[in-house]
């Protein structure tokens, strides 16, 4: 849809039309209608459009244009086929557990293209990645450094580490906020002397870089560039204190996607336009000029390509509010229910994927089957008059879906996950 009509669309249909194809009443993913996919696989289902995920990757890679290497952050969506898709596009991988490491290897990632971050890496996890092979371990505690050194010494191997830094100031949209929040991630920027002292006594560790990750769900290009600029400054300071060049600087993930009414996609052209300035900042410092820059997005790459489809079980009018009870809910999609860290609960984009051509829409509250009012997928979604057997689809659901949700709560079955590509689909 285009022109003045589309300007009036509620945000669900608007986002659906900008990412996927709409053919008459049907939302179509990868050449197949949602209706026909779920007729075969059932509901609730997460459907992933491989072409859309590839498009997200290529758009970002195109905008970065060699400024930075992309490592896909596996926690966003650890399905093996999804990881494999990004690996085939050329992505490296960022993992934060041994489970994610094994998933990445299973998907065909090369060990040397995997980065391991996370605040509480266990001894067995460190041992397995070192023995099998790992690109860099991003160390976050003194104990971790000690464990890596001990195990590397027992093998007489060298291990590449990078320091995860907990910044003193946080880069905000236009300014810097002093007194970074206390978090468990990384070493405090203002308290690195003990780390340098410890490292000077480690003989198996090569300190190759720094890792600075500021924030998530950033939709403003200027804010993202500001965060990256801040990361480069911190890296420069640390290299000066070390008195030698860095091989890698990891600027983190956090690239956002629009979820709520009024949000607009991250402007990749504006990101691209800001990169020459950052490149010259890097070039002007001999300690940084040869460093490989890494970004590690998850949500941005996997989110737009996925939808969560549920079937309407019953509809009831309760004191003036229409409640639509579906077979899907927060046990599969905690983020859509507003219970995954959101401060204000707003509606994810949501559509009726087999009734896309209808224009007579009404506000509805979409709930799941769990016995708790927390199990609400939308509070006032504009949808056609739904009845039992109709479908609803939550968009922007390819990241932080099933594995970021309390799947065991109330013991309902897991959602099926399906990858659609080139007119074919398969349960994954
Ligand atoms: C979660 C995480 C990411 C990915 O964050 P997104 O907001 O999905 O881009 C990247 N790096 C680290 C260390 C993370 O913990």
Question: Ligand 1 center to residue 82 CA distance, Å?
Answer: 16
**CATH number of the domain within which 360 lies:** 2.40.37.10
Residue 360 forms part of a structural domain? yes
Q: Are residues 245 and 307 in the same domain?
A: no
Question: Ligand 1 center to residue 253 CA distance, Å?
Answer: 5
Q: Are residues 90 and 204 in the same domain?
A: yes
Q: Are residues 365 and 260 in the same domain?
A: no
Q: Whose CA is nearest to atom 3 of ligand 1?
A: 253
pLDDT at 172: 59
The residue range of the domain holding 184 is: 78-297
**Residue among 56, 165, 298 to mutate when testing ligand 1 (max atoms within 8 A of CB):** 298
Secondary structure string (H, E, C) spanning the chain: CCCHHHHCCCHHHHHHHHHCEEECCEEEECCEEHHHHHHHHCCCEEEEEHHHHHHHHHHHHHHHCCCCEEEEEHHHCCCHHHHHHHHHHCCEEEECCHHHHHHHHHCCCCHHHEEECCCCCCHHHHHHHHHHCCCEEEECCHHHHHHHHHHHHHHCCCEEEEEEEECCEEECCCCEEECCCCCCCCEEHHHCHHHHHHHHCCCCEEEEEEEECCCCCECCHHHHHHHHHHHHHHHHHHHHHHCCCCCEEECCCCECCCCCCCCCCCCHHHHHHHHHHHHHHHHCCCCCCCCEEEECCCHHHHCCCEEEEEEEEEEEEECCEEEEEECCCCCCCCCCCCCCCCCCCCCCCEECCCCCCCCCCEEEEEECCCCCCCCEEEEEEEECCCCCCCEEEECCCCCCCHHHCCCCCCCCCCCEEEEEECCEEEEC
Residue 119 forms part of a structural domain? yes
pLDDT at 3: 42
Q: Whose CA is nearest to atom 7 of ligand 1?
A: 254
**Residue among 57, 140, 213 to mutate when testing ligand 1 (max atoms within 8 A of CB):** 213
CA separation for the pair 381, 336 (Å, rounded):
12
Question: Ligand 1 center to residue 348 CA distance, Å?
Answer: 20
Question: Ligand 1 center to residue 265 CA distance, Å?
Answer: 18
Q: Are residues 359 and 229 in the same domain?
A: no
pLDDT at 4: 44
Question: Ligand 1 center to residue 215 CA distance, Å?
Answer: 8
Pocket of ligand 1 (CB under 6 A): 73, 75-76, 94, 96, 117, 213, 216, 252-255, 296-300
Q: Are residues 307 and 285 in the same domain?
A: no
Q: Whose CA is nearest to atom 15 of ligand 1?
A: 118
pTM of the model: 0.95
Residue 105 forms part of a structural domain? yes
Q: Are residues 247 and 366 in the same domain?
A: no
Residue 213 forms part of a structural domain? yes
Question: Ligand 1 center to residue 299 CA distance, Å?
Answer: 8
Average confidence (pLDDT) per 10 residues, the chain, 428 residues: 53 94 97 98 98 98 97 98 98 98 98 96 97 97 97 96 90 58 87 95 96 90 95 96 96 95 96 98 97 98 98 95 96 95 90 97 96 95 96 98 96 97 95
Residue 2 forms part of a structural domain? no
Question: Ligand 1 center to residue 311 CA distance, Å?
Answer: 31
pLDDT at 51: 98
**CATH number of the domain within which 194 lies:** 3.20.20.10
Domain termination residue (choose one: 239, 266, 297)? 297
Q: How many domains does the chain have?
A: 2
Q: Are residues 138 and 277 in the same domain?
A: yes
Q: Are residues 380 and 400 in the same domain?
A: yes
Strands 45-49 and 416-421: parallel
Q: Give the atom of ligand 1 at the shortest distance from the alpha carbon of 211.
A: 13
pLDDT at 179: 55
């Amino acid at each position: 849809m285009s022109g003045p009509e589309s300007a009036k669309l509620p945000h669900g249909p608007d986002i659906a039309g900008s990412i996927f194809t709409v053919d008459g009443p049907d939302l179509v993913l990868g050449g197949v209608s949602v209706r026909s996919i779920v007729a075969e696989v059932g509901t609730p289902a997460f459907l992933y459009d491989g072409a859309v995920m590839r498009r997200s990757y290529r758009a970002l890679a195109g905008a970065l244009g060699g400024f930075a290497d992309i490592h896909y952050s596996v926690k966003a969506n650890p399905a093996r086929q999804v990881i494999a898709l990004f690996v085939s596009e050329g992505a490296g991988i960022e993992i934060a557990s041994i489970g994610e490491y094994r998933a990445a290897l299973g998907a065909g990632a090369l060990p040397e293209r995997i980065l391991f971050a996370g605040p509480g890496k266990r001894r067995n996890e460190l041992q397995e990645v070192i023995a099998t092979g790992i690109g860099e371990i991003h160390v976050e505690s003194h104990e971790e450094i000690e464990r890596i050194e001990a195990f590397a010494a027992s093998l007489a191997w060298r291990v590449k580490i990078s320091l995860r830094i907990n910044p003193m100031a946080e880069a905000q949209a236009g300014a810097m906020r002093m007194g970074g929040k206390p978090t468990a991630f990384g070493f405090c920027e203002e308290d690195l002397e003990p780390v340098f002292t410890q490292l000077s006594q480690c003989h198996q560790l090569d300190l190759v870089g720094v890792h600075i990750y500021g924030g998530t769900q950033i939709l403003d290009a200027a804010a993202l560039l500001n965060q990256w600029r801040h990361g480069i400054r911190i890296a420069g300071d640390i290299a000066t204190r070390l008195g030698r060049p860095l091989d890698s600087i990891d600027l983190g993930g956090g690239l956002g996607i629009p979820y709520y009414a009024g949000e607009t996609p991250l402007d990749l052209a504006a990101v691209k336009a800001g990169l020459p300035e950052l490149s010259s900042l890097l070039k002007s410092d001999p300690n940084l000029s040869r460093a490989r820059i890494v970004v590690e997005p998850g949500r941005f790459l996997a989110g737009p390509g996925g939808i969560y489809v549920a079937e309407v079980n019953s509809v009831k009018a309760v004191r003036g509010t229409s409640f639509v009870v579906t077979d899907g809910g927060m046990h599969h999609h905690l983020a859509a229910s507003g219970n995954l860290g959101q401060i204000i609960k707003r509606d994810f984009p949501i559509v009726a994927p087999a009734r896309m051509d209808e224009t007579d829409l009404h506000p509805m509250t979409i709930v799941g089957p769990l016995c708790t009012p927390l199990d609400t997928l939308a509070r006032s979604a504009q949808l056609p008059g739904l009845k039992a057997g109709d479908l609803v689809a939550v968009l922007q659901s390819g990241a932080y879906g099933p594995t970021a949700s309390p799947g065991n709560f109330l013991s309902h079955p897991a959602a099926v996950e399906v990858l659609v590509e080139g007119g074919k689909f398969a349960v994954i």
